[in-house]
Amino acid sequence: MISYGRQFVDQTDIDAVVEALKGDWLTQGPKVEEFEIALKDKFGANHCCVVANGTAALHLTGLALGWRPGDIVITSPITFLSTANSIIYSGAIPDFVDIDSTTYTIDPNKLEEKIKTYNAQSKNVKAVIGVDYAGHPCDWEALKTIGEKYELQLINDNCHALGARFLGDTQYAAKYADAVTQSYHPVKHITTGEGGSILTNNGKIDQKVRLLRSHGITKDLKDMGGRNGSWYYEMHEVGFNYRISDFQCVLGTSQLKKLDNFVEKRREIAQSYDAAFGMDERFIIPPVSEKVDHAYHLYPLQLKFDKVGVNKNDFFESMKSVGINLQVHYIPVHLQPYYMKRFGFKPGDFPIAEEFYANEISIPIFPQLKSSEIEFVIAQIYDNLN
């Protein structure tokens, strides 16, 4: 079965993890900080705190930014559930702004309209989580301008876009957003099994997420009333166990060295798909804004199912029967029963996202995909259209 995504773990990764397993520290050892330093260097952030997964990174970010019950936080409906769920964790209220049909990321013009609508009702928007969907960065220039104008916090859910460039810069994320979250789940660009991080240039945010990562415990003398002995620690607020282990971090450090090659490989595959589908008007290949270089975590192909002789479900099943496991990214979050029931969203609220969902299929893209497999995927998509 060829799946839409797959990790690449080689012998150097395995050797590094085995070495770590033989060491003194399985968790809370020196490999955690080594991975943090490697991430800071790679993504150009002053601070990095690695955590158990990308969802934990989003959760702690919201808490560190001081989200309170009733605060309004906006994101894109075309994202994984945990982006929006992380808003609910802190008691804040999630809202959405439709995507731009030429980037598949949050539409800055519609965002500004929504903020103005809230302001007209004497309500303020606390924060915006931009999602660099599929590996295509949001228009961070526009988001930054809006963020400054309306005094919003900006978060980059960067899980898809490791290695992408905005205005030529691979280190864009922490420059524009107050906090950046990543995930190292096996389908993402690099993996630690489960894992994630918060990258930021803001020392206060970093300090807060570090504290909350491990139960809210501090041993730092300047944060405590005094010290009664070397065993002593204090807790000033309730935190979690969102730590990641040393052997996972070793895997992450080893994987990070391969990121540039991984992204290069993904871009080559995307080029083959662009060539195969770009000239046929039944398809829309993923557009790329001139401001960005795409990192292709996904290859979201739109197929105009109303113009072909097959519906999406049948197409999925026939592709599966020849060994190709497609996916869809994503069911718009506002259409989930929980979101409709609790927050009153309904079909039609975000029409561009909904139409995108109707058309979108994620076709296989991962570094180890062979050229024969790429040809097979292309041939099967055409064969199964009618």
Ligand X SMILES: *Cc1c(COP(=O)(O)O)cnc(C)c1O
- Nearest approach, Cβ of residue 92 and ligand X (Å): 17
Tell me the residue nearest to ligand X as measured from the CB.
54
State which residue, 81 or 385, has the beta carbon closest to ligand X: 81
Q: Which single residue is written with the structure tokens 């391969």?
A: 258
Looking at beta carbons only, is 42 or 188 nearer to ligand X?
Answer: 188
Which of 105, 156, 183, 245: binder of ligand X (CB under 6 A)?
Answer: 183
Restricted to residues 147-176, the positions that interact with ligand X (CB under 6 A) are 157, 159-160
Question: Binding of ligand X at residue 55 (CB under 6 A)?
Answer: yes
CB of 198 to ligand X, least distance (A): 12
Nearest Cα to 55, choosing from 95, 93, 103, 87? 87
- Could you tell me if residue 248 is left (phi over 0), alpha (psi between -120 and 50 degrees) or otherwise beta? alpha
Measured from the Cβ of residue 203, the count of other Cβ atoms closer than 10 Å reads 10
Counting residues that bind ligand X (by CB under 6 A) gives 14
- CB within 8 Å of 263: residues ≥ 6 apart: 162, 163, 164, 189, 295, 296
Task: Determine contact, residues 294/165, Cβ cutoff 8 Å.
Answer: no
Our CB check for ligand X shows the closer of 9 and 310 to be 9
Taking the complex as a whole, the smallest distance from the CB of residue 11 to ligand X amounts, in Å, to 25
Q: Find the binder of ligand X among 59, 114, 185, 266 (CB under 6 A).
A: 185
Round to whole Å and give the CA distance between 276 and 278: 6
CB 74 within 8 A of CB 125: yes
Kindly state whether residue 130 participates in binding ligand X, applying the rule CB under 6 A.
no
* DSSP letter (8 states) at residue 335: G
Q: Is 266 in the site for ligand X (CB under 6 A)?
A: no
We find the least distance from the C-beta atom of residue 77 to ligand X, in angstroms, to be 12
Q: In this complex, which beta carbon is closest to ligand X, that of residue 190 or of residue 374?
A: 190
CA distances in angstroms from 98 to 58, 161, 266, listed in the order given: 21, 20, 27
Single residue of 77, 196, 286, 364 touching ligand X by CB under 6 A: 196
| Structural Rg of the chain based on CA atoms | 22
- Least separation in angstroms between residue 187's CB and ligand X is 7
The token pair at 227 is: 């010290």
Least distance from ligand X to the Cβ atom of residue 297, Å: 7
54 binds ligand X (CB under 6 A): yes
Instruction: Give the nearer residue to ligand X in terms of CB position, either 51 or 381.
Output: 51
- Nearer Cβ to ligand X (139/277): 139
Residue with smaller CB distance to ligand X, 155 or 369: 155
- Residue 287 sits at the vertex; the CA angle it makes with 277 and 386, to the nearest 5 degrees, is 30
C-alpha to C-alpha distances, 72 to 84, 91, 119, 352, nearest whole angstrom: 12, 10, 11, 22
What DSSP assignment string belongs to 258-299? THHHHHHHHHHHHHHHHHHHTT-TTEEPPP--TTEE---S--
**Segment 62-81, which members bind ligand X (CB under 6 A)?**
79-80
Binding to ligand X, residues 4-33 (CB under 6 A): none
* Among residues 32, 51, 53, 252, the one that binds ligand X under rule CB under 6 A: 53
Binding mask 274-313 for ligand X (x = CB under 6 A): ----------------------------------------
Coil, strand, or helix at residue 363? coil
Using the rule CB under 6 A, is 83 a contact of ligand X? Answer: yes
Alpha-carbon distance values, 163 to 6, 32, 267 (Å)? 17, 21, 11
Nearest one of 132, 98, 97 to 289, comparing CA atoms:
132
Pick from 82, 197, 218, 245: which binds ligand X (CB under 6 A)? Answer: 82
Query: Rule CB under 6 A: is residue 254 a binding residue for ligand X?
Result: no
Residues near ligand X (CB under 6 A) are 53-55, 79-80, 82-83, 131, 157, 159-160, 183, 185, 196
